[in-house]
Amino acid sequence: MADSMKGLKRTHYCGEVTEASLGEVVVGGFVDRIRDKGGVIFIVLRDRTGVVQLLFNETTAPEIFEKASSCRSEFVLMAKGEVRERESKNDKLKTGNVEIFVTDLRVLAKAQTTPFEITSETKVNEELRLKHRYLDLRRAPLQQNIMMRHEIAKVTREYFYENGFLEIETPMMIKSTPEGARDYIIPSRIHQGKFYALPQSPQIYKQLLMVSGFDRYIQLARCFRDEDLRADRQPEFTQIDLEMSFVDAEDIQECVEGFVQRVFKDVLGVDVPTPLPRLTFADAMNRYGSDKPDTRFGFEIQDITDAVKDIDFVVFRNAVDEGGSVRAINVKNGAETYTRKEIDKLVEHAKGIGAKGLAYIRWADEPNCSFKKFLGEGDLEKICAAVDAHEGDLVLICADKTRTVLSTLGALRLICGKRLNVIPENQYNFLWITEMPFFEHDEESGKWVAAHHPFTMPMEECIEYLDTDPGKVRAKAWDLVLNGTELSSGSMRITDYELQQRMFESLGMTDEEIQAKFGFLVEAYRYASPPHGGMGIGLDRLAMIMCKADSLRDVTAFPKVQNASELMSECPSAVDDESLEALGIAVTVADED
Q: Which of 453, 563, 439, 428 is nearest to 517 (CA)?
A: 453
CB atoms within 10 A of CB 245: 20
The pLDDT, as a whole number, for residue 359 is: 94
Please give the average per-residue pLDDT across 218-224, as a whole number: 97
pTM recorded for the entire structure: 0.91
Compute the chain's Rg from CA coordinates: 30
The pLDDT, as a whole number, for residue 233 is: 84
Q: Which of 239, 160, 168, 231 is nearest to 199 (CA)?
A: 239
Distance CA 367, CA 376 (A): 15
Q: Give the percent of the chain with pLDDT over 90.
A: 75
Please give the average per-residue pLDDT across 438-446, as a whole number: 76
Average pLDDT, the chain: 92
Please give the average per-residue pLDDT across 563-587, as a whole number: 91
Please give the average per-residue pLDDT across 196-211, as a whole number: 94
pLDDT tens column, 52-77 = 999 999 999 999 999 999 999 999 99
pLDDT above 80 for 301:
yes
The pLDDT, as a whole number, for residue 180 is: 64
pLDDT above 60 for 593:
no
Q: What interhelical angle do 539-546 and 249-268 show, nearest 10? A: 40
pLDDT above 70 for 533:
yes
pLDDT tens column, 169-198 = 999 999 987 656 789 999 999 999 999 999
Stretch among 290-299, 391-400, 582-591 having the lowest mean pLDDT: 582-591
Please give the average per-residue pLDDT across 97-116, as a whole number: 96
Distance CA 413, CA 480 (A): 21
- Before 559, cis peptide (omega within 30)? no
C-alpha torsion 245→251→256→260, nearest 10: -160
The pLDDT, as a whole number, for residue 471 is: 81
Classify residue 374 as exposed, middle or buried by CB count within 10 Å of its CB (0-12, 13-18, 19+).
middle
Q: Higher-confidence residue: 75 or 518?
A: 75
